[in-house]
Amino acid sequence: MSDATAARPPTFAAGAILALVLVGVVAAAAFAVLSAYAPDLRSGRDGRAHALSTSAVGYAGATILMKAMGAQVVVSRTPPVRPSRAAVILTPDPGLKPETLQAYPKGDLTLIVLPKWVAAPDPVRPGFVRKVGLLDDDRAVTALLKSYAPQTRLIVRKGVHRPTLRPADSGQAYQLGRIDRLRTIAGKGWVPLVVDEAGNAVLVRSAKTPSIWVLADPDLLNNQGLASRDTARAAALILDSARAGDRPLMFDVTLNGFERGRGLGRLLLEPPWLAATLIAAAAAILMGVHALARFGQPRAPGRAFALGAQALVDNTADLVRMAKREHELAPAYAALTRTLVARAAGGHAAEDGWLEDLARRRGAAAPSDLAIEAETTKTRDELTAVARKLYQWRGEMTRERR
């Protein structure tokens, strides 16, 4: 190998690799947090008709108007777990299932603003929309509101007008700004609250459920309608009537897909589970730091097959253990012990009488009795007991120090 090849630097520096790992960990953690809180980070400026939208058909202007007038206004991303004290404003999207609307927990008063326009996002100006058409499907509206009234009919006035509205019972009339194709509502089960100059109802309540109000034309509350001062004045009067003086206004956006979720990721990032998450992250970091350095001397790899007599003995013992024949070795162990004792005492193993006499004089057990007990062993536990007796007998016969 040449000197140039030996001196060539590594392809990646240790610092660069460490930096890449840290950047990857931070990016993964940030992605997890953003994924958990993604619904809260959505601005809602998608051009649809809800309280977060600043497009012409949205209702962000209504929340700003009522806050400026001193009302307590909440844009709710969480449906209430029980009926709310607030006046709830629901702005369902076209195609919402009637079961979903009916299952939503209602407030002391619930104002349902029916969708009117089919709008598409403006490709030139983000956040703006272009008018595509009019929603006037009586069957869809009847199905949506069937739990509150048996029949619902929508009546559309042709052209652009400045209609005049007044309370259905009595009261001062007020003229609106320019409204394109004013839409009114009628049908069995609806009680008019606000009507136009022709007596057609714009705002109604359910005879079956008086706390349910329905606004037929959303142009009275949406951003394009509030561009007119006269229409904004009418919108404020309608919302003030819904407030009944002291109720807060809650604009719901959960039916529009902006519900704040409670997934596992968000649960782990909020108390009380946040502490456990931080502890787990710290433990993972410490494990990674420990893995960067070796602790102690490396162990040399051993042979796959050991050499020598010790390995032969160990392998034989393992084979006997696997066959569960250990107890059959008891007679051989007893004979070996008798031979060792006779050799240590200066005699011969064949001289049984001499070894029996020596055991009697020293007060030890007779070797013949131990041999018989060894012959009758059947289990591993019995083998252990016999081996212990033979070991003790050998010590007594040879006076060995153990």
Has residue 270 got a pLDDT over 80?
A: no
pLDDT cut 90: percent of the chain above it:
34
Alpha-carbon span 176 to 163, nearest angstrom = 6
pLDDT tens track for 25-41? 888 888 877 776 666 66
Has residue 4 got a pLDDT over 70?
A: no
73-82, 125-134, 162-171, 259-268 — which one is most confidently predicted on average? 162-171
Tell me the residue type at 11: T
**pLDDT score, position 294:** 64
Tokens 């040879």 -> residue: 398
Position 262 confidence tier, pLDDT thresholds 50, 70, 90: low
DSSP 8-state secondary structure symbol assigned to residue 99: H
Range in 79-88, 177-186, 204-213 the model is least confident about: 79-88
**pLDDT score, position 6:** 55
Alpha-carbon span 168 to 142, nearest angstrom = 23
Q: What is the mean pLDDT of the chain?
A: 84
Query: Residue 346: left if φ>0, alpha if ψ -120 to 50, beta else—which one?
Result: left
Query: Residue 342: left if φ>0, alpha if ψ -120 to 50, beta else—which one?
Result: alpha
Position 106 confidence tier, pLDDT thresholds 50, 70, 90: confident
**Stretch 116-137: mean pLDDT:** 83
Higher-confidence position of 187 and 299: 187
**pLDDT score, position 204:** 96
Position 78 confidence tier, pLDDT thresholds 50, 70, 90: confident
Q: In a 10 Å sphere around its CB, with 0-12 CB exposed, 13-18 middle and 19+ buried, how is residue 187 labelled?
A: middle
CA-based end-to-end distance of the chain: 63
Higher-confidence position of 184 and 359: 184
**Stretch 97-116: mean pLDDT:** 90
DSSP 8-state secondary structure symbol assigned to residue 207: S
Position 160 confidence tier, pLDDT thresholds 50, 70, 90: very high
pTM above 0.85, yes or no: no
**pLDDT score, position 1:** 47
